[in-house]
Amino acid sequence: MFIFILFLYIPASWSLGVFHQQAPLSTFHTIASRSFCANDRLTASYTCSPSLFPHSNKAEVSLNLNLKADGDAVENGENLLFKEIEESSLRHIFEDKNFNSLTLDSRLEFNTNYFSVAYTPYYVVADTNVTNPAFPEVSMYLATKNELRVSSGWKLGKFWSFGGGVAYDKIRYAQPNFSIFDLATAKPNQLIKFQNKYSLKADLGLSFWGQDYRGAIPNITFQAKNLMSAYKLNSHSEASVNLLEPFALFETHYMTTLSYNITSKFGTFKPGIHGYYDENLSFYNNYYVLGLGYDLGKFGTTVEGGPYKRSMGLFFNSSRVDMGVIYVQDKELGAIQDSYSQSVYITSVFRL
């Protein structure tokens, strides 16, 4: 009954909603093993949940680099976000005839046993979707984000832990939608107009270690993300029905994770389930994931699946470098996407 309440079916709807596996503060585990990552004290990274911070005990400086790209997405992202936009670049996008997506996350972290400071010079999203072959039309979502964050956390007795983070960020984004005929009559800077959002926001996480309390009870974590963010979804307004609209990314949203750690002489197994909620606590009913992790310390693997996601990942850890490779089949556009797209994510952590 308790699990049913946590994952209550409350339909959420929007037009051209885009779900990205790689959100800000990404690591191998936030992409490949979201189904149990927030309860994983072996991994113990505040990027999975701030409530894991008191279990981390890692004093280090590290550089995190994570990349995912489809098709011509890298070239499109470079041309649209980091160069002066040219007509030839936009015409090239109309040749794709499908959905392409680039996400990139870079982060420098200074971690102590009492707090963590993280600076994100660039989190990048570049989505393009071409529709209507007879009269081609393109929708885009283009964004760069810079952020400075401070995080910490505390154990609350034997069975609870709590953590939080405060961040200041700038999001520069555009959501253009135009046809190939518009391109013939307007300049690129008239078709793609960027705007900025500045936020002082907070993340919170609360974990109950149910297995410590009584072995049959799962570990449960609830998270609030981007509280007080100035960025809001506008996908329900009539003016934006044709725009690409990423969700569970920059705006306020919530997450719940239930999982177990099963330790054996062959390693640790980690089954779990994870779900997302919008700012009104309505459940994104087709975006939950079920997963299973297997951990041998320096090596591990994960498999995960849901209505719109199937993935398998491998990671390798050492004292200086962590590397991960994740193969994902997903439908970032949800039900309106006919077939699964295929992507490879490369994740890395370099300890300085």
pLDDT, tens digit, 9 for 90 and up, residues 194-218:
999 999 999 999 999 999 999 899 9
Q: Cβ distance 149 to 202 under 8 Å?
A: no
Residue 235 CB neighbour total at 10 angstroms = 19
Mean pLDDT of 86-95: 85
Residue 57 CB neighbour total at 10 angstroms = 9
Report the CATH architecture of 2-351. Beta Barrel (2.40)
Residue entry with tokens 């391109």: 183
Note the pLDDT of residue 338: 85
Mean pLDDT of 279-295: 94
The one-letter amino acid at 244: L
Interatomic CA distance for residues 323 and 315, integer angstroms: 6
CA angle 45, 126, 119 (to 5 degrees): 35
Note the pLDDT of residue 5: 42
49-81 pLDDT per residue, tens = 999 999 987 789 999 999 987 667 788 888 888
Would you give the DSSP letter of residue 332? T
- Per-residue burial over 119-155, b if 16 or more Cβ lie within 10 Å, else e, is ebeebbbbbbbbbeeeebbbbbbbbbbebebebbbeb
pTM of the entire structure? 0.91
Question: Strand pairing partners for 171?
Answer: 145, 197
The one-letter amino acid at 1: M
Mean pLDDT of 138-150: 95
- CA 99 vs. chain centroid, Å, equals 18
Query: For residue 55, which of 46, 44, 71 has the smallest C-alpha distance?
Result: 44
Interatomic CA distance for residues 273 and 121, integer angstroms: 31
| Structural domain spans, the chain | 2-351
Note the pLDDT of residue 297: 82
CB neighbours of 333 closer than 8 A, spacing ≥ 6? 16, 17, 18, 99, 129
Interatomic CA distance for residues 142 and 194, integer angstroms: 9
pLDDT at 282 over 70: yes
Q: pLDDT category, 87, cuts 50, 70, 90?
A: confident
Lowest model confidence (mean pLDDT) among 46-50, 130-134, 298-302: 130-134
| DSSP labels, 213-273 | H-TTSPEEEEEEEEET-S----TTSGGGTTS-EE-SSSS-EEEEEEE--EEETTEEEEEEE
Note the pLDDT of residue 12: 42
Residue 97 CB neighbour total at 10 angstroms = 11
pLDDT at 9 over 70: no
Give the DSSP H or E segment for 315.
Answer: strand 309-317
Query: For residue 237, which of 14, 17, 18 has the smallest C-alpha distance?
Result: 14
238-273 pLDDT per residue, tens = 445 568 889 999 999 999 999 999 999 889 999 999
Note the pLDDT of residue 71: 62
Q: Is 88 helix (H, G, I), strand (E, B) or coil?
A: helix
Note the pLDDT of residue 240: 52
Interatomic CA distance for residues 171 and 200, integer angstroms: 12
Interatomic CA distance for residues 138 and 141, integer angstroms: 10
pLDDT at 115 over 70: yes
